[in-house]
Amino acid sequence: MPDYDVLCIGNAIVDIIAQCDEEFLETNGIIKGAMNLIDTQRAELLYSRMGPAIEASGGSAGNTAAGVASFGGRAAFFGKVSNDALGEIYAHDIHAQGVAFDTIPLKGEPTTARSMIFVTPDGERSMNTYLGACVELGPEDVEADKASGAKVT
C-alpha cells in the first residue's frame, strides 16, 4: 500500500489577509482584483503599511495537500520556506492539517514567500505576492522514496 494518497510539489506561500478600503489600494498603487508578483522591498513596504492581518499557509499545491488530509487522505507536500517566523507559521499550519511536510528550511535569504491579500468592503481580493524562498526548491529537496510511495504525485 502506498505511504501517501497524494504528494504535492509547489510553492510554500503564507497568505497574509487584511481588510482595507479603496483609499489604501489607491495610495499604495495596488490594482484592485489583480495578482501582482512583487520584490522584497515592495513586500516589506506593503507589510509595514497593512493593518491587522490573519496569516495562514497557502499556495495551491499546499492547499491541495491540506484539502486531501482534511478529508481523511494521507498527503505529503514538498515546498521551500526559510528559517524565519513565516516559515514556522507555514510549517505549523500545514502540519496541523495532517500533511507530511519535511522539506529542510532555507537558512538566510530569501525569506519565506508571502501573498499579501487586501480585501475591500465589497469582498474583492487584491494580491501582492513575493515568491522568496519557494523559488529555491530544487530536486535535492524532493525525497525520491516519498515521491515513489504516493498513489498520485
18 vs 50: CA distance, rounded Å: 7
Q: How many domains does the chain have?
A: 1
Domain with 109, as residue range(s), is 4-152
Residue ranges of E strands in the chain: 4-9, 13-19, 35-37, 54-58, 75-78, 99-100, 113-119, 125-130, 150-152
State residue 144's pLDDT score.
83
CATH number at residue 141: 3.40.1190.20
The pLDDT-based confidence of 2 (bands split at 50, 70, 90) is low
134-141 CB contacts, 8 Å cutoff, 24+ apart: 134/10, 134/11, 134/12, 134/13, 134/59, 134/79, 134/80, 134/81, 135/80, 135/110, 136/80, 136/106, 136/110, 137/9, 137/11, 137/12, 137/78, 137/79, 137/80, 137/103, 141/78, 141/80, 141/103, 141/104
φ, ψ dihedrals at 86, nearest 5° = -70, -35
Residue scoring higher pLDDT (51 or 129):
129
Position 1 pLDDT exceeds 70: no
Position 150 pLDDT exceeds 90: no
pLDDT tens digits for range 9-42: 999 999 999 999 999 999 999 999 999 999 999 9
The pLDDT-based confidence of 148 (bands split at 50, 70, 90) is confident
